[in-house]
Amino acid sequence: MSVTESATTPERVLLRLDWEVIRRLDGLLQGDYRSLFYGYGVDFADLREYQPEDDIRYIDWNVTARMDSPYVRQYVEDREITAWFLLDLSPSVDFGVQENQKRRVLIDFVATLARLLTRHGNRVGAIFYSGRVERTIPARGGRIQVLRLVNDLLKQPRLPHAPFTNLTPMLESGLNAIKGRSLVFIISDFISVPGWERPLSLLNQRHEVLAIRLWDPREIELPDVGPVIMEDSETGEQIYVDTHDKKFRQRFQEAAQRRETALSQSFKHAGVDVLSLSTEDDLVRAIVRFATLRQQRRKNS
């Protein structure tokens, strides 16, 4: 744990986020967070004939064709949300400059979304994973629950080295632990051995799943800083490289781009929306951008 973290309390984290993030979100989204969670808790109830004031997005075109008259779907909405955070806390999440690592982005995002959800009477829970399930925090409501999540995240030990991350057990733990239909945030850099795509798809069939993908610009493009020793944050393996070498930087960037493409295809195949959060992103702008994208997709669906 860094000196900065050891001097930070859950109360200070929430106070900072209330001022820097949540108030701005309230203004930009006008308190309407349904654009983030629109797929959750909505059950089909009935069909009825279309009326002039109805939203055309709810027209059932198959029934309309059969009946030769427009029909719309009606829904019953479950107002209470149970949300779960599946948190990848493997060593690669500690990548980044000292004050702006992926782990801090993870903590800020979890605290922000937990605060937004619980203040409207919803419940939040979490599964901590770092090569194995470290702990499961049952879903509860209230500010005390948010403080507990933040406190446990701040106190979670950092692993200097570990076997290469395998996200499959974390996702399978979510499948086993989360019973009722829930909103599930999977927060990770998705640096993992292959095979996690199938449990992700299964999880998305049972719940509304949002993938929050953490990344740092230095993982995509190497700066030209001369000879350096690079260390794998998971295994501890070290190699000597010369970043003056333009061809090496180009190969590094091409490999990173291939990984980006493969990740995008995996999320698309699973039908999961993704919020990419950089260590240099403004959290408010990133969340608003994500909400706008989901709102547009809903209108076009």
265 token code pair: 């295809």
Task: Enumerate residues 6+ apart whose C-beta is below 8 A from 264.
Answer: 274
**Dihedral pair phi/psi, residue 6, rounded to 5°:** -65, -25
Which residues pair with residue 229 across a beta bridge? 240
Query: Can you tell me the distance from the alpha carbon of 211 to that of 54, in angstroms, rounded to the nearest whole number?
Result: 32
24 token code pair: 């701005």
Query: Can you tell me the distance from the alpha carbon of 113 to that of 123, in angstroms, rounded to the nearest whole number?
Result: 11
39 token code pair: 């797929």
Query: Can you tell me the distance from the alpha carbon of 270 to that of 250, in angstroms, rounded to the nearest whole number?
Result: 31
Query: Can you tell me the distance from the alpha carbon of 6 to that of 40, in angstroms, rounded to the nearest whole number?
Result: 37
Lowest mean pLDDT among 39-53, 58-72, 164-178, 264-278: 39-53
Which residues pair with residue 101 across a beta bridge? 96
Q: What DSSP state is assigned to residue 217?
A: G
How confident is the model over 235-249, as a mean pLDDT?
A: 65
Tell whether the model's pLDDT for residue 21 goes beyond 80: yes
Q: Among the residues of the chain, which ranges form H helices?
A: 3-6, 10-17, 23-29, 34-37, 61-67, 102-118, 143-155, 168-177, 197-206, 246-270, 283-300
State residue 199's pLDDT score. Answer: 95
Tell whether the model's pLDDT for residue 301 goes beyond 70: no
What does pTM read for this prediction?
A: 0.78
Determine the straight-line distance between the first and last CA of the chain, rounded to whole angstroms.
45
Contact predicate 122/81, CB 8 Å: yes
Q: What DSSP state is assigned to residue 179?
A: -
State residue 51's pLDDT score. Answer: 79
Task: Enumerate residues 6+ apart whose C-beta is below 8 A from 9.
Answer: none
How confident is the model over 127-136, as a mean pLDDT?
A: 92
298 token code pair: 């809903």
State residue 247's pLDDT score. Answer: 75
Amino acid making up residue 230: M
State residue 1's pLDDT score. Answer: 45
How confident is the model over 160-178, as a mean pLDDT?
A: 88
Residue among 206, 179, 169 nearest 86 (CA): 169
Amino acid making up residue 199: P
Tell whether the model's pLDDT for residue 42 goes beyond 50: no
Which residues pair with residue 184 across a beta bridge? 84, 209
Query: Can you tell me the distance from the alpha carbon of 40 to that of 190, in angstroms, rounded to the nearest whole number?
Result: 24
pLDDT digits (tens, 9 = 90+) for 84-129: 999 999 888 887 666 678 999 999 999 999 999 998 788 999 999 9
State residue 61's pLDDT score. Answer: 80
Gyration radius from the chain CA atoms: 21
Q: What DSSP state is assigned to residue 108?
A: H
Query: Can you tell me the distance from the alpha carbon of 144 to that of 18, in angstroms, rounded to the nearest whole number?
Result: 15
115 token code pair: 């605060």
